Amino acid sequence: MILLIALAAFCATLLGGLFALRFKDKLHLILGFSAGAVVGVAFFDLLPEAIDLGQQFYPVNVVTTVAAIGFALYLILDRWFFFHCHEAGEEHSHGRGQLGAGSLSLHSFLDGVAIGLAFQVSVVVGAIVAAAVLTHDFSDGINTVNLILKNQGARRQAFKWLLADAAAPVLGVISTFFFTLPQNVLSLVLALFCGFFLYIGASDLLPESHHGHPTVWTTVATLLGLAVLYTAVTLAGL
């Protein structure tokens, strides 16, 4: 099952990139929904699961602090890479696109690791995390292509980076076949990924969904993403 999900992650990323190549101006609703789904999985699944797994090892504030650290770490990495590339100027825009696409590919690898680790908790948790990651991988494919094309890259080069980004979550999932984490460590790892997902949804996907578009329907799409994830987590827990 987990290998099928890894294959689905590959396909979701690839389809997102192909969608970006063909329908560049029709992405805001999908990105809005993805933002809601990713934030929803952080609040409704990852954080409660991290608290539940870690309750016999840590007080709740330790787990939530690790989630905040995850948010801050992703913020620092994001600002460090893209701010400094921007400051380098237009003559380095091509390299900026390559660096951006490479960092997205690394992030996609971590998405695959998140799926594999979630399945170490349970099939239900793994399936919910996988669903959120799949919607996010679609937007990752979009962003990978856009980063290359907006920074003077060719369509062929954009497609090559898209393939690398699509393969990354598969490799991430496979890597978790070779190690398991004890419950106390897994609790903190899930909390860390909670922080990552909160940053990605709130600071990356959501602003991009509103960029150049009316906010009414993108807001509806985001709320729908939250509602869908809440419903999925609730039904899975019954």
Predicted confidence band of residue 88 (pLDDT cuts 50, 70, 90): very low
pLDDT value for 90: 45
Helix (H, G, I), strand (E, B) or coil at 114: helix
Whether 94 shows a pLDDT value over 60: the answer reads: no
Q: Distance between CA 170 and CA 8 in Å, rounded?
A: 9
Six-digit token pair at 181?
């984490």
Q: Distance between CA 145 and CA 157 in Å, rounded?
A: 9
Can you give the length of the chain in residues?
238
pLDDT value for 152: 61
pLDDT value for 169: 87
Q: What are phi and psi of 88, to 5 degrees?
A: -70, -20
Burial readout 183-216 (b: 16 or more C-beta within 10 A, e: otherwise): eeebbbbbbbbbbbbbbbbebbbbebbbeebeee
pLDDT value for 139: 67
Mean pLDDT (whole number) for 12-29: 71
Predicted confidence band of residue 149 (pLDDT cuts 50, 70, 90): low
Q: Which range, 24-28, 183-187, 218-222, has the best average confidence (pLDDT)?
A: 183-187
CA dihedral (217, 219, 222, 227) positive or negative: negative
Six-digit token pair at 32?
């809005």
pTM above 0.75, yes or no: no
Whether 38 shows a pLDDT value over 90: the answer reads: no
Q: Distance between CA 76 and CA 66 in Å, rounded?
A: 15
pLDDT in tens, 112-134: 888 888 888 888 778 877 877 77
Among candidates 222, 198, 206, 237, which has minimal Cα distance to 72? 198
Identify which has the larger pLDDT, 69 or 42. Answer: 69
Burial readout 11-40 (b: 16 or more C-beta within 10 A, e: otherwise): ebbbbbbebbbeeeeebbbbbbbbbbbbbb
Whether 166 shows a pLDDT value over 50: the answer reads: yes
Six-digit token pair at 57?
């090892």
